[in-house]
């Protein structure tokens, strides 16, 4: 019997677009059953759904594939990705700003790290969206690198 690690590696080796499509189908079926009784729960749910849509659009954009049988419009395939990624990230920041101690206001203690993780993923999506938009506009990405003289390696900035 294959090990869990082997099976996980098989899943992670799959392409991003089919996996994004599966998640959107899962969300379509389960979104109404996700917790949303409190404002922070509804925001978390809605942000996760929007984030998954953004990932699916990003995967499709990388392929230059405007035709897809689930979700997506021509606008989503021609509009820049970065503004929508910033909007999703900004919604989380606006509704649940952080206290001076870095904690999310109104969010229970046991979900603080989950909110941090989601926020980090959203900020990473902004960066990725910017790079994909740049690739689409210029045909390449300009990446700043720094020479780490101690390790004698190039480090992407």
Percent of the chain with pLDDT over 90: 15
The pTM score is 0.74
Nearest residue to 21 via CA among 68, 91, 63: 68
Is the four-CA dihedral 92, 93, 94, 98 of positive or negative sign?
A: positive
Q: What is the pLDDT of residues 54-110, one digit of tens each?
A: 988 888 887 765 555 455 555 556 788 999 999 999 988 887 777 778 788 788 889
Tell me how far apart the alpha carbons of residues 105 and 43 are, in angstroms, rounded to a whole number: 13
> Total domain count for the chain?
1
Q: What is the pLDDT of residues 61-75, one digit of tens each?
A: 877 655 554 555 555
How confident is the prediction for the chain on average, in pLDDT? 80
Query: Residue 59 CB: number of other CB atoms within 10 A?
Result: 19
Q: What is the pLDDT of residues 23-43, one digit of tens each?
A: 888 888 888 898 888 888 888
Length of the chain (residues): 157
| Residues paired with 145 in a beta bridge | 156
Which structural domain range is residue 33 located in? 4-156
pLDDT surpasses 70 at 111: yes
| CB of 54 closer than 8 Å to CB of 83 | no
Which residues, other chains included, contact 50 with Cβ-Cβ below 8 Å and sequence gap of 6+?
88, 91
């Amino acid at each position: 019997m294959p090990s869990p690690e082997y099976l996980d590696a098989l899943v992670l080796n799959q392409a991003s677009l089919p996996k994004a499509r599966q998640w959107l189908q899962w969300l379509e079926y389960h979104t109404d059953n996700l917790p949303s009784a409190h404002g922070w729960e509804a925001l978390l749910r809605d942000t996760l759904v929007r984030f998954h849509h953004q990932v699916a659009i990003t995967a499709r954009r990388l392929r230059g594939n405007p035709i897809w049988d689930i979700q997506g419009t021509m606008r989503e395939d021609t509009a820049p990705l970065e503004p929508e990624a910033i909007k999703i990230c900004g919604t989380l920041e606006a509704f649940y700003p952080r206290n001076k101690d870095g904690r999310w206001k109104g969010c229970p203690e046991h979900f603080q790290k989950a909110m941090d993780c989601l926020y980090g993923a959203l900020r990473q999506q902004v960066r990725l969206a910017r790079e994909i938009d740049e690739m689409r506009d210029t045909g390449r990405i300009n990446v700043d690198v720094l020479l780490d003289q101690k390790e004698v390696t190039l480090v992407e900035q």
